[in-house]
């Protein structure tokens, strides 16, 4: 642990802490002395993360919950309140992916699932901690969206739509809580090397990611920590996706052009988003999709 931990005795809940960005964020807050509450559906995986986190700090708890169940989210927060009496930071991170075109036969099913988990899961968690944070007169909620929560990518519409919904929810919540002492931030990472696309076939990954070198999850976790420390309202990681967002704010056609350029290796190298490596599937599904994937899995 650092000599002066920045979150000593602060109660921090991290959803989706069994893997990827959530796991690294949990380790980062544990290193900073936080009472770290790890949640996701898989207790076994959470226990392994907890073992790692306890090397920095013994104040780690595992409380499994499926964020798509409002009752399980309420039970998670109640258990934390019962033991610690407060929640200082909620990292609203749990989520899953779906790819495929809007004409895909899976699209409606995918979008329903993503709204249940990625979107409503975050709404349930925020609603569960807010009464307590209001009583405390302070608190910090970090909502994980994505770069595609600002500009949608083709072949990634269900996920992009859910991420836009999170951005809007987070933006409105921040303004509704003005003057309460409760801060809200939205974090928009670009492609990050995690288990996010685990089980997908290579050709199911949107073409916009073909020449994108993914961010390490630890870098995203560190930015999340800094977002809370510096009370920022929005964090886009890294800086280059601002080009897409800026282009899109000027004209939809310009935004679309920048998204098309993401498939160009020379462009990606020139803006520093392609550094020679690309997203690695840890457990790829056997390739069984057509050349033009109109119907990919969630």
In the complex, which residues of this chain contact ligand NAP (CB under 6 A)? 15-22, 40-42, 45, 66-68, 93-96, 117-118, 144, 146, 189, 191-192, 194-196
Residue 68 C-beta: closest distance to ligand NAP, Å: 5
Query: Considering the complex, what minimum distance in angstroms separates the CB of residue 279 from ligand NAP?
Result: 8
Nearer to ligand NAP, 170 or 194 (CB): 194
Identify whether the C-beta of residue 45 lies closer than 8 Å to the C-beta of residue 19: yes
Which of 7, 197 has the CB closer to ligand NAP? Answer: 197
Shortest gap between Cβ of 38 and ligand NAP (angstroms)? Answer: 9
Closest distance of CB 189 from ligand NAP, Å: 4
Taking the least distance from each CB to ligand NAP, the nearer of 40 and 99 is: 40
| Nearer residue to ligand NAP within complex by CB, 132 or 281 | 281
Q: Which is nearer to ligand NAP, 106 or 145 (CB)?
A: 145
Active site residue 159: yes
C-beta neighbour count of 3 within 10 angstroms? 4
* Residues 6+ away with beta carbon under 8 Å from 189: 21, 144, 146, 147, 215, 220, 223, 237
Interaxial angle between packed helices 157-176 and 120-136, expressed in degrees from 0 to 180 and rounded to the nearest 10? 20
Dihedral sign, Cα of residue 106, residue 158, residue 162, residue 262: positive
Of the residues 119, 159, 211, 274, which is catalytic?
159
Considering the complex, what minimum distance in angstroms separates the CB of residue 227 from ligand NAP?
14
Which residues are catalytic, by number?
A: 159
């Amino acid at each position: 642990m650092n000599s002066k931990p920045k979150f000593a005795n602060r109660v921090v809940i991290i959803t989706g802490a069994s893997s990827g960005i959530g796991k690294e964020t949990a380790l980062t807050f544990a290193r900073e002395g936080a009472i770290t509450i790890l949640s996701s559906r898989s207790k076994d995986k959470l226990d392994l993360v907890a073992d790692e986190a306890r090397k920095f700090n013994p104040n780690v708890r595992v409380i499994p919950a499926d964020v798509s169940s409002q009752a399980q989210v309420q039970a998670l927060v109640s258990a934390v309140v019962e033991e610690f009496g407060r929640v200082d930071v909620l990292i609203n991170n749990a989520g899953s992916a779906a790819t495929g075109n809007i004409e895909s036969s899976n699209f409606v099913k995918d979008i329903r699932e993503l709204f249940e988990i990625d979107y409503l899961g975050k709404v349930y968690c925020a609603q569960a901690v807010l009464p307590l944070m209001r009583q405390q007169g302070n608190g910090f909620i970090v909502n994980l969206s994505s770069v595609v929560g600002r500009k949608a990518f083709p072949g990634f519409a269900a996920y992009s739509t859910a991420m836009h919904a999170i951005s809007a929810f987070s933006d409105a919540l921040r303004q509704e809580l003005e003057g309460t002492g409760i801060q809200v931030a939205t974090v928009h990472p670009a492609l990050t090397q995690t288990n996010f696309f685990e089980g997908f076939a290579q050709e199911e990954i949107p073409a916009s990611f073909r020449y994108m070198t993914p961010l390490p999850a630890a870098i995203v976790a560190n930015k999340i920590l800094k977002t809370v420390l510096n009370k920022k309202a929005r964090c886009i990681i890294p800086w280059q996706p601002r080009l897409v967002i800026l282009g899109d704010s000027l004209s939809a056609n310009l935004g679309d052009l920048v998204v098309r350029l993401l498939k160009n290796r020379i462009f990606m190298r020139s803006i520093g988003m392609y550094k020679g490596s690309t997203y690695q599937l840890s457990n790829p599904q056997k390739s069984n999709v057509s050349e033009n994937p109109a119907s990919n899995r969630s």
